[in-house]
């Protein structure tokens, strides 16, 4: 299976709950390599730019307000079949629908505050990594 890259964002709700370490530990146990990692607080403009694809959605304003309310941890990940495997590990967007043991089931509270972001394709994973990391910052 091909090696791929994907972006994880540990969202403000998960950082507030102090579960960043547990989420990173899980990703390491799942065989992901951490190519780059940074804790930062997104400006409103950065959040809007990152989620630009959703700008016409009714939840866009709420999403950007939430994503810029406190620190996040952005993590560039690599693994065989990284995009699909990561999506399986985080679970469904709405924690109420997520399988037991997934990150969103364990740590998410609602569809908006769902603990972790995941890229939805290999192409978007690469774009999203480039949004936060320069090439020379990645292992
Ligand atoms: P994420 O993987 O970060 O990608 C887009 C985000 O939009 C998604 O996770 C959800 O947190 C958020 N989202 C999707 N649907 C809704 C909704 N109905 N209300 C609020 N936020 C939503």
Domain extent listing, the chain: 3-134
Domain spanning 3-134: which CATH class is it, in words?
Answer: alpha beta
The tens digit of pLDDT for each residue in 80-126 reads 999 999 999 999 999 999 999 999 999 999 999 999 999 999 999 99
Q: Which two tokens stand for residue 128?
A: 């999203």
- Can you give the pTM of this predicted structure? 0.97
Neighbours of 98 (CB within 10 A): 19
Residue nearest to atom 21 of ligand 1 (CA): 112
Residue nearest to atom 12 of ligand 1 (CA): 112
**CA 64 to ligand 1 centroid distance, Å:** 10
**CA 101 to ligand 1 centroid distance, Å:** 20
Tell me whether residue 95 is exposed, middle or buried, using C-beta atoms within 10 angstroms of its C-beta: 0 to 12, 13 to 18, 19 or more.
buried
Catalytic residues: 117
The tens digit of pLDDT for each residue in 9-52 reads 999 999 999 999 999 999 999 999 999 999 999 999 999 999 99
Residue nearest to atom 10 of ligand 1 (CA): 112
**CA 136 to ligand 1 centroid distance, Å:** 30
Enumerate residues lining ligand 1, CB below 6 A: 54, 59, 62-63, 93, 111-112, 114, 117-118
């Amino acid at each position: 299976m091909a090696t791929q890259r994907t972006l994880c964002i540990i969202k403000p709700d998960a950082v507030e709950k102090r579960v960043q370490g547990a989420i990173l530990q899980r990703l390491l146990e799942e065989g992901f390599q951490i190519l780059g990692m940074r804790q930062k607080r997104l400006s409103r403009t950065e959040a809007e730019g990152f989620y630009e694809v959703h700008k016409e959605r009714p939840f866009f304003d709420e999403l950007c307000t939430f994503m810029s309310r406190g620190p996040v941890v952005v993590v560039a990940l690599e693994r065989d079949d990284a995009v699909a495997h990561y999506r399986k590990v985080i679970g469904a967007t709405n924690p109420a629908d997520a399988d037991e043991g997934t990150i969103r089931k364990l740590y998410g509270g609602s569809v908006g505050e769902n603990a972790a972001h995941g890229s939805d394709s290999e192409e978007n994973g690469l774009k999203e990594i480039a949004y936060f990391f320069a090439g020379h910052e990645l292992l």
